Chains A and B, each alone.
Chain A
Amino acid sequence: MKPLMLHGHERAITQIKYNREGDLLFSSSKDNKPNVWYSLNGERLGTFNGHQGAVWCIDVDWTTTRFMSGAGDNTFRIWDCETGTEIDKAMGHNCEIFIMDVRNVDESLSQADPILKIPIIGSRVSSMLWGALDETLLTGHENGEIIQWDIKTGKKLQTAKEHENLINDMQMSKDSSMFITASKDHTAKLFDSDNLMLLKTYKTERPVNSAAVSPILEHVVLGGGQDAMDVTTTSARVGKFDSRFFHLVFEEEFGRVKGHFGPINSVAFHPDGKSYSSGGEDGYVRVHNFDPSYFEYGFDY
């Protein structure tokens, strides 16, 4: 496969995300400007300029009309996808979950009150997901805990403590019945999103920064590498900066793809499952279209 290298960022990529149809790919980095790209040809559609700090997480809505980004300048901002203009921003606080109604978002957002505030006591939240039917909220914590929250009441429903270290990333499977976590404790784990039951564990020998489940095959992809601060002391060959493909069920690694010069911070499957992207500490996003051999590859069992 011939990957497209998207070089729109000056610093390490923090997160990449496809929209629902997969024609657009959003990327954020530690510089202040999230980018949006056409995933097919790698053409940059635009940049969202306005943040004053590293952008840590991004998301796009179901219809690809609104784009949201949360950054180190203590704000989250909502943008119009088509024009790249900022609709409004709101200030966050020290580790609290805000749930805000943005269905009819306009300039009054900064004055609006959140419909629910969940103060987090104890370990901080490092990743977050909507549960099935948007009735619950899943949070991954710095101590490896996963908590399921009830949106209506703001109460903890369930807690699972399967990871021993910070949870870097959580991603849903296509039907939202399972989610995969990527943790600093060198493993990625697959959970049932309803009862937080641990289903599978994918073991590696380095911190896992991101993990994604293929929408069409029983595959998961893990991206990782050692901590960014240790990168300069190791060569690319030793650092193992490749994306690693595991079988979903058998927990066994079956393939690797090289390319990045630093740890991979975020991986995402295209919603059609025929390509995947990875964003790394080296500031590049790489869009890979799978070769036919990937689809023909049969797992021996």
Chain B
Amino acid sequence: MPVADDIKSSWADEVELEGGALPPSTEVRENGFKIVTDYKYNEDEKKLKIVRTYKIEKRTVSKSIALRKTWKKFGESATDKPGPNPATTIASEDVYMQYVTSKEEDNKPEDESSIDKLKSLGDKSVVRCRTCGQEHWTTKCPWKDTVLIGGKLPDDKKGPAVTTGFTNAETGKPGGSKYVPPNMRDGAAKRTDSTNMARRDDTTAIRVSNLSESTTENDLEDLVKPFGPIQKLYLAKDKTTGACKGFAYIHFKFRNDAAKAIQALNGHGYDHLILNVDWSKPPTHSNQ
């Protein structure tokens, strides 16, 4: 094909060839700034244009320093151009000095004196420890980390696990008792109560899975509202994209409603997917 021979290269190739030679680097100095433009190839054979802007500052210095500024570079820097070489000199991110103050230590004596002031007012009930009932802050109670002394706490608040745990509680001595794990201590009784409450809450919760990505909280609300009043609704979403992760938890007010919802929605076709609905299972890592 003689015609094909005449065309040496297509226009697309020509562009490639043009790109082969890099434009020379330029240096422009204008009103106190030096702008250096460089061209180079990166690893992907793509042409890069690098523009560096330097601020030129004039400083008055002593003669010896000015003289040293004119010294020629040597050693490994012998081939460097004037000005900092970006390979060796890097401007890093801003850092700040974190000031450390000893304010917390200063506050301590003040704290003491404020208690004294309150005490001098005559009102003995102002400062009262919640643990032992004596006159100090609860956080300063000498028995705060140990077993509570002599039945100040109402019996009904004591959990069953607590009373079986130790006999020293009645002796009134903080020392001498063996180690008691935090969750077995008296103060923890309330906490276990609250976690029990949370678990009781879970009994009205259902888990909906196999939701489509485009599901929003409003869609979900519309879906479950007909079954009864809702306490809480949680839709798992991707942190970055905000898209639904495919499952949700719904806390109903009443267990009956939740049961109804499970019955109706399990296997229900929703947005091209078939929903999977069941009771929400308690987290597996809890030990009770």
Are B99's CB and A45's CB within 8 A?
no
Known: A42-B84, A291-B96. A5 touches B91 (CB 8 A): yes
Q: Which of chain A's residues has its CB closest to B61's CB?
A: A23
Q: Which of chain A's residues has its CB closest to B89's CB?
A: A42
B98 contact set on A, CB distance < 8 A = 255-258
B91 contact set on A, CB distance < 8 A = 2, 4-5, 42
Of B73-81, B162-170, B216-224, B234-242, the segment with at least 4 beta carbons within 8 Å of chain A is: B73-81
Q: Is A136 an interface residue (CB 8 A)?
A: no
Known: A23-B61, A23-B68. A46 touches B90 (CB 8 A): no
Q: Is B110 an interface residue (CB 8 A)?
A: no
Q: Is B156 an interface residue (CB 8 A)?
A: no
Interface code B155-182, partner A: CB below 8 Å = 1, 0 otherwise?
Answer: 0000000000000000000000000000
Q: Is B97 an interface residue (CB 8 A)?
A: yes
Q: Is B140 an interface residue (CB 8 A)?
A: no
Q: Is B71 an interface residue (CB 8 A)?
A: yes
A4 to B68, CA, bound (A): 20
Q: Is A165 an interface residue (CB 8 A)?
A: no
Are B97's CB and A82's CB within 8 A?
no
Of A144-152, A206-214, A292-300, the segment with at least 4 beta carbons within 8 Å of chain B is: A292-300
Q: Is A47 an interface residue (CB 8 A)?
A: yes
A135 to B69, CA, bound (A): 33
Are A4's CB and B89's CB within 8 A?
yes
B239 to chain A, nearest CB (A): 23
A254 contact set on B, CB distance < 8 A = 99-101
Interface code B54-73, partner A: CB below 8 Å = 1, 0 otherwise?
Answer: 00000101101100110111
Are A45's CB and B85's CB within 8 A?
no
A46 contact set on B, CB distance < 8 A = 73-78
Q: Which of chain B's residues has its CB closest to A294's CB?
A: B97
User: Restricting to A80-120, which residues have a CB under 8 Å from any CB of B?
Assistant: 82-85
B101 contact set on A, CB distance < 8 A = 254, 300
- Interface size band for A: 35 or more
B99 contact set on A, CB distance < 8 A = 254-255, 297
Known: A44-B77, A45-B74, A47-B77. A5 touches B89 (CB 8 A): yes
B77 contact set on A, CB distance < 8 A = 44-47
Are A47's CB and B75's CB within 8 A?
yes
Known: A46-B75, A254-B99. A2 touches B94 (CB 8 A): yes
A9 to B18, CA, bound (A): 39
Interface code A233-265, partner B: CB below 8 Å = 1, 0 otherwise?
Answer: 000000000000100000011111111000000
Q: Is A48 an interface residue (CB 8 A)?
A: yes
Known: A5-B90, A45-B77. A64 touches B84 (CB 8 A): no
Interface code B199-214, partner A: CB below 8 Å = 1, 0 otherwise?
Answer: 0000000000000000
Q: Is A130 an interface residue (CB 8 A)?
A: no
Q: Which of chain B's residues has its CB closest to A253's CB?
A: B100
User: Restricting to A1-42, which residues have a CB under 8 Å from any CB of B?
Assistant: 1-8, 21, 23-24, 33, 35, 37-38, 40-42
Q: A40, A41, A43, A297 — which one has the most chain B CB atoms within 10 A of its CB?
A: A43
A167 to chain B, nearest CB (A): 26
A38 to B19, CA, bound (A): 38
A301 to chain B, nearest CB (A): 10
Are B65's CB and A23's CB within 8 A?
yes
Q: B83, B85, B92 — which one has the most chain A CB atoms within 10 A of its CB?
A: B92
A-B CB proximity, top 5 nearest: A47-B75, A84-B74, A46-B74, A42-B89, A46-B75
Excluding A1-B95, A48-B75, 4 further A-B contacts by CB distance (< 8 Å) are A8-B76, A38-B69, A42-B84, A47-B77
Q: Which residues of A contact B (CB under 8 A)?
A: 1-8, 21, 23-24, 33, 35, 37-38, 40-49, 63-64, 82-85, 245, 252-259, 286, 288, 290-291, 293-294, 297, 300
Q: Which residues of B contact A (CB under 8 A)?
A: 59, 61-62, 64-65, 68-69, 71-78, 80, 83-85, 87-102
